[in-house]
Amino acid sequence: MMRERLYLYDTTLRDGQQTQGVQFSVAEKVRIAEALDALGVDYIEGGWPGANPTDSAFFEAAPATRARMTAFGMTKRAGRSAENDDVLARVLNAGTGTVCLVGKAHAYHVERALGITREENLESIRRSVAHVVAEGREAVFDAEHFFDGHAVDPAYARACVAAALEGGARWVVLCDTNGGTLPGGIARAVEAVIAGGVPGERLGIHTHDDTETAVAGSLAAVEAGVRQVQGTLNGLGERCGNANLTALIPTLALKAPWCERFETGVSAGALEGLTRTSRMLDETLNRVPRRQAAYVGASAFAHKAGLHASAILKDPATYEHVDPARVGNARVVPMSNQAGLSNLRGRLAEAGLEVARDDPALPRILEEVKAREAQGYSYDTAQASFEVLARRALGRLPDFFEVKRYKVTVERRKNKHDRMVSLSEAVVVVKVDGEKKLSVSESMDAAGGDRGPVNALARALAKDLGPYQPAIDDMRLVDFKVRVTQGGTEAVTRVMIDSEDGHGRRWSTVGVSANIVDASFEALLDAIVWKLSRDAPAPG
Ligand SMILES: CC(=O)SCCNC(=O)CCNC(=O)[C@H](O)C(C)(C)COP(=O)(O)OP(=O)(O)OC[C@H]1O[C@@H](n2cnc3c(N)ncnc32)[C@H](O)[C@@H]1OP(=O)(O)O
Ligand SMILES: CC(=O)C(=O)O
C-alpha cells in the first residue's frame, strides 16, 4: 500500500529557544541543526532573524542542509505595508528558501493584543504572506491561537486560514498556542477546517504541552487530516514545551496505524540515532537527561520488577512495546529491592559476568542488595555500585588498593583582598602494591574558587594510585546528588555520583552514611573501583 508523506517541521531552534533557561549560542544552533538534518526532518526553523544577534548570526553561519532552513517572523505591523515593515525585511534578508510568519487567528487577540480590526488583521495576513511569496520564498503561516479562536468564532478563525492561503501560503499551521486544547477538540476543529474545503495537504499542527497532551494532540490532528507536524527535540518550548519530536517521530515510524499509513523523511537507520540526538541536546544545555522520557530515556527500557525481568529474559517482547535498538536505546535490567534472581542474572550478563544458574553467590548477592536498599542504598540507578558489589561477592574483584584513612577540612578565611573565602583540603592515604601513598589535594577551580570538600576528596583519591593511575586519568565527576533518606529507622544521607571517561562511558555509584563526607567517599571509591575493574591491568 502506498504510504502518504507526512512532513516533520522542527522548531527546536525557535520555539525551543523560548524555553525558560535555554540560550543557544550560534555554534550550538549549528550543531543542533546538523543533528536535525541527519535525523531527517523536513524543515528546520532556525530562529527569528533580526530579533536578537544570535539568531541573525545563525542564519549567516547556517549549515547547508537537506532540510529546508526556515526563518521565522511575524506578519507586518499595523499602519505600514509589508514592503516597508523593517521586522519583516530582516526576516526575508536571512535569505532562506522558506519563511514562516506568525499571525493571529482569534478575534479577541486581534482586538486586544494588536489593537486593530478583524478586517485589518485578515488584510495583514494576506499581504504579508503574499509579500513572502512575491520574494520567491515558500511561505508558512502559523495561525496563532487557532484552536481557542475556533472554539468561540469558527468563521473568523477559518477566515484567517483562508487569508493566508489566498496570499499563497504553502502551509497553514494550526497552533494551540496556549496548550489548553485536548486531542478531541483538536481533531474536531481540524475536521471542520477540512470539511470547509481546505485540503489536509496544506495544513500543519503546532501544539504545546500545557496539559501534557501535545503529542496526543498532534497525532489526533494527523488522524484528522493535517500533513505537517511541528515539534521540538526533547519537547523544549515556551512554558511547558512543544510536542516532543523524540516521542512523536518513533511513534509515527514504528507504531500502527501510523507507520502503515505514513512515511516521513526519517529512515530506519537515522531513527537509530534518536537517543544519541536527544542526549546531545541535553548535553548542549547542560541538563541531566530525563530518565523517563519515552523511547529515549535511560529508564524507557529498564525492567526493574522481578516478574518483568524474569519474562524479559525469556523474550523481551513480553514487556517492551518496541525494540530499544530501533531508537538507539538499550535494555536495562537493574537491581533493586523489587528484583528477583532473573534481574540478577540479566544484570550480571550485561556486565559480562557469566554465572552458573546454581551459583550459591547469587542468592547472597540478592539478599545483600535488598538489605542495603533497606539501609538507604539505591542500586537501580547506581548500577556501577551494584556491579562492584556483585564482583566482590563472586570473588571477581581484584584488590586494586586499600584505603587506610582519609581526612577533609573546610576552612573559611580572609584572602589578600580582605574577602572571606573557603578552602577545602583533603588527605587520602592508600596502600597500593604494598606501598603506602599519601595524597593531599585542595579543591580549586580554574578561577581559584573553592569547589568543596567532596571535590577535594575526589582529587586526592584519584591523585596517585601507582600502576592504576593511567586507567583513571581520563575519569571525571559529572553529577553529584545528595538526598536525605530513611535508612532503617534513622535518617541517612544518600549520595549519587555520575562519572564519565574518555571512552564516552557514564556510570553511577552510590554511598550511604549518616555523614555526608563518608557517603560521598563511598560513592567516589566505587566509581574508581568500577573503572579499574574495566580498564586496569590485574594487580601483580
Ligand atoms: C506564539 C509565539 O511563540 S510567536 C513567537 C514569539 N517569539 C518572540 O516573541 C521572540 C522574539 N521576539 C522579540 O525579540 C521581540 O518581541 C521583537 C523584536 C519581535 C519585537 O520587539 P518590540 O518591537 O520591542 O515589540 P514587543 O515585543 O514589545 O511587542 C510585540 C509587538 O508586536 C505586535 N505583534 C504581535 N504579534 C504580531 C503579529 N503577528 N503581527 C504583527 N504585529 C504583531 C504586538 O502587538 C506588539 O506591538 P506593540 O508594541 O505596538 O504593542
Ligand atoms: C507560533 C507558535 O509558536 C504558537 O502559536 O505557539
pLDDT tens digits, residue range 374-392? Answer: 899 988 889 899 999 999 9
Are the C-beta atoms of 335 and 380 separated by less than 8 Å? yes
pLDDT of the residue at 128: 98
**Res. 12 pLDDT band, cuts 50 70 90:** very high
103 lines ligand 1 (CB under 6 A): yes
On whether both 113 and 185 belong to a single domain, the answer is yes
Residue 284 falls inside a structural domain: no
Of the bound ligands, which one is closest to the alpha carbon of residue 104?
1
116 lines ligand 1 (CB under 6 A): no
pLDDT in tens, 69-106: 999 999 999 889 999 999 999 999 999 999 999 999 99
Q: How many whole angstroms from 207 Cα to the centroid of ligand 1?
A: 20
Of the bound ligands, which one is closest to the alpha carbon of residue 179?
2
Residue 299 falls inside a structural domain: no
pLDDT of the residue at 102: 98
Of the bound ligands, which one is closest to the alpha carbon of residue 174?
2
Give the contacts of 243 (CB within 8 A, at least 6 positions apart).
205, 206, 207, 208, 209, 214, 215, 217, 218, 229, 230, 231, 232, 235
Q: How many whole angstroms from 393 Cα to the centroid of ligand 2?
A: 57
Tell me which residue has its CA closest to atom 50 in ligand 1: 114
Q: Strands, E, within 364-444: which ranges?
A: 402-414, 420-432, 435-442
State how far the Cα of 278 lies from the Cα of 293, in Å rounded to an integer: 10
Q: How many whole angstroms from 194 Cα to the centroid of ligand 1?
A: 30
On whether both 157 and 213 belong to a single domain, the answer is yes
pLDDT in tens, 35-80: 999 999 999 999 999 999 999 999 999 999 999 999 999 999 988 9
State how far the Cα of 489 lies from the Cα of 438, in Å rounded to an integer: 37
Mutate which of 45, 56, 114, 230 for ligand 1 pocket (most atoms within 8 A of beta carbon): 114
**Relative to the CA of 11, which ligand 2 atom is closest?**
3
Q: Which of 393, 425, 448 is the last residue of a domain?
A: 393
**Relative to the CA of 143, which ligand 2 atom is closest?**
5
Give the contacts of 402 (CB within 8 A, at least 6 positions apart).
430, 431
Percent of the chain with pLDDT over 70: 99
On whether both 53 and 121 belong to a single domain, the answer is yes
Residue 85 falls inside a structural domain: yes
Residue 345 falls inside a structural domain: yes
102 lines ligand 1 (CB under 6 A): yes
On whether both 194 and 49 belong to a single domain, the answer is yes
Residue 540 clears pLDDT 70, i.e. is over it: no
pLDDT of the residue at 345: 87
Q: How many whole angstroms from 18 Cα to the centroid of ligand 1?
A: 13
Nearest CA to 14 out of 249, 233, 278, 172 is that of: 233
pLDDT of the residue at 319: 97
Give the contacts of 22 (CB within 8 A, at least 6 positions apart).
16, 236, 285
Q: How many whole angstroms from 258 Cα to the centroid of ligand 2?
A: 25
On whether both 127 and 187 belong to a single domain, the answer is yes
pLDDT of the residue at 406: 96
Are the C-beta atoms of 310 and 340 separated by less than 8 Å? yes
User: What CATH number is associated with residue 14?
Assistant: 3.20.20.70
Residue 127 falls inside a structural domain: yes
**Relative to the CA of 175, which ligand 2 atom is closest?**
5
Residue 494 clears pLDDT 70, i.e. is over it: yes
Mutate which of 175, 218, 240 for ligand 2 pocket (most atoms within 8 A of beta carbon): 175
Average pLDDT, integer, range 237-243: 98
pLDDT in tens, 261-297: 999 999 999 999 999 999 899 888 878 789 999 999 9
On whether both 386 and 499 belong to a single domain, the answer is no
Q: What are phi and psi of 290, to 5 degrees?
A: -75, 115
First to last CA, the chain: 65
Tell me which residue has its CA closest to atom 17 in ligand 1: 51
Q: How many whole angstroms from 142 Cα to the centroid of ligand 2?
A: 7
Q: How many whole angstroms from 134 Cα to the centroid of ligand 2?
A: 24
78 lines ligand 1 (CB under 6 A): no
Residue 426 falls inside a structural domain: yes
Using alpha carbons only, give the angle 50, 51, 56 rounded to the nearest 5 degrees.
45
pTM: 0.81
Residue 449 falls inside a structural domain: yes
On whether both 369 and 415 belong to a single domain, the answer is no
Distance of CA 468 to the CA centre of its chain: 35
501 lines ligand 1 (CB under 6 A): no
Give the contacts of 387 (CB within 8 A, at least 6 positions apart).
347, 351, 353, 530, 533
128 lines ligand 1 (CB under 6 A): no
pLDDT of the residue at 337: 79
242 lines ligand 1 (CB under 6 A): no
144 lines ligand 1 (CB under 6 A): yes
14 lines ligand 2 (CB under 6 A): no
Cell numbers given for 78: 499595523
On whether both 375 and 407 belong to a single domain, the answer is no
On whether both 52 and 129 belong to a single domain, the answer is yes
On whether both 381 and 493 belong to a single domain, the answer is no
Q: Which domain holds residue 377?
A: 306-393
pLDDT in tens, 127-136: 999 999 999 9
* Counted domains in the chain: 3
Residue 296 falls inside a structural domain: no
Cell numbers given for 14: 525557535
On whether both 74 and 193 belong to a single domain, the answer is yes
The pLDDT mean for the chain works out to 94
48 lines ligand 1 (CB under 6 A): yes
Of the bound ligands, which one is closest to the alpha carbon of residue 209?
2
**Relative to the CA of 115, which ligand 1 atom is closest?**
45
On whether both 115 and 183 belong to a single domain, the answer is yes
